[in-house]
Amino acid sequence: MTGEITTLPDIDPLLLRILPNPRPGTPPPSSKLVFGKTFTDHMLTVRWTSAGGWEAPVIGPYAPLSLEPSAVVLHYANALFEGLKAYRSNTGRITLFRPDMNMSRMNRTAERIALPTFSGPALIELISELVRLDASWIPQEPGHSLYVRPTLIGTQNALGVGPSTSALLFVICSPVGPYYKGGFKPIALLATTKHVRAAPGGIGSYKLAANYAPGIIPQLEAAMEGYAQNLWLWGPEHFLTEVGTMNLFVVLRREDGATELVTPPLNDIILPGVTRDSVLSLARSHSSTPLPGLPENFIVSERAITMPELVSASKAGRLLEVFGAGTAAIVCPVDRIGYLGEDIIVPTGERGMGPVSEVMYREIVGRQTGVIPSDWAWVVKE
Amino acid sequence: MTGEITTLPDIDPLLLRILPNPRPGTPPPSSKLVFGKTFTDHMLTVRWTSAGGWEAPVIGPYAPLSLEPSAVVLHYANALFEGLKAYRSNTGRITLFRPDMNMSRMNRTAERIALPTFSGPALIELISELVRLDASWIPQEPGHSLYVRPTLIGTQNALGVGPSTSALLFVICSPVGPYYKGGFKPIALLATTKHVRAAPGGIGSYKLAANYAPGIIPQLEAAMEGYAQNLWLWGPEHFLTEVGTMNLFVVLRREDGATELVTPPLNDIILPGVTRDSVLSLARSHSSTPLPGLPENFIVSERAITMPELVSASKAGRLLEVFGAGTAAIVCPVDRIGYLGEDIIVPTGERGMGPVSEVMYREIVGRQTGVIPSDWAWVVKE
Closest by Cβ to A220, choosing from B69, B114, B196: B114
Closest Cα in chain B to A234 = B201
Size of interface A-B (CB pairs under 8 A): 204
ipTM above 0.95, yes or no: yes
Whether B227 has a pLDDT exceeding 50, the answer reads yes
Residue from A75, A113, A219 whose CB has the most chain B CBs within 10 Å, to mutate: A75
Residues B281-331: tens digit of each pLDDT: 999 999 999 999 999 999 999 999 999 999 999 999 999 999 999 999 999
Instruction: Test B112 with A214 for CB contact under 8 angstroms.
Output: yes
Measure in Å the smallest separation between the Cα of A334 and chain B Cα atoms: 20
Residues A95-106: tens digit of each pLDDT: 999 999 999 999
* Cα→Cα distances B325→A215, B182, B186, B217, B335, Å: 29, 19, 13, 22, 15
pLDDT, average across residues B332-339:
97
Cβ of B235 under 8 Å from any chain A Cβ?
no
Per-residue pLDDT band for A248 (boundaries 50, 70, 90) equals: very high
Residues B74-105: tens digit of each pLDDT: 999 999 999 999 999 888 899 999 999 999 99
Instruction: Test B212 with A68 for CB contact under 8 angstroms.
Output: no
Residues A204-213: tens digit of each pLDDT: 999 999 999 9
Characterize the bridge pairing of strands B145-154 and B229-234: unpaired
Instruction: Test B213 with A212 for CB contact under 8 angstroms.
Output: no
Measure in Å the smallest separation between the Cα of A202 and chain B Cα atoms: 6
The pTM of the full predicted model, rounded to 2 decimals, is 0.97
Instruction: Test A75 with B76 for CB contact under 8 angstroms.
Output: no
Per-residue pLDDT band for A5 (boundaries 50, 70, 90) equals: low
Q: Where along chain B do its domains lie?
A: 13-178, 187-369
Express the helix, strand and coil content of chain A in percent, nearest 5 each: 25, 30, 45
CATH of domain B13-178: 3.30.470.10
Cβ of B215 under 8 Å from any chain A Cβ?
yes
Contact (CB, 8 A) for B74 and A153? yes
Instruction: Test B151 with A65 for CB contact under 8 angstroms.
Output: no
Window 21-40 of B: residues touching A by CB (8 A cutoff) are 34-37, 39
Q: Which of B83, B376, B166, B113 is nearest to A161 (CA)?
A: B83
Q: What is the 3-state secondary structure of B255-300?
A: CCCCEEEEECCCCCCCCCCHHHHHHHHHHHHCCCCCCCCCCCCEEE
Window 255-294 of B: residues touching A by CB (8 A cutoff) are none
Residue from B45, B74, B221 whose CB has the most chain A CBs within 10 Å, to mutate: B74
> How many other C-beta atoms can be found within 10 angstroms of the C-beta atom of residue A26?
8
Residue type for A370, please?
A: G
On whether the B187-369 domain is CATH 3.20.10.10, my answer is yes
- Residues of B within 8 A of A65 (CB-CB) are 66-69, 74
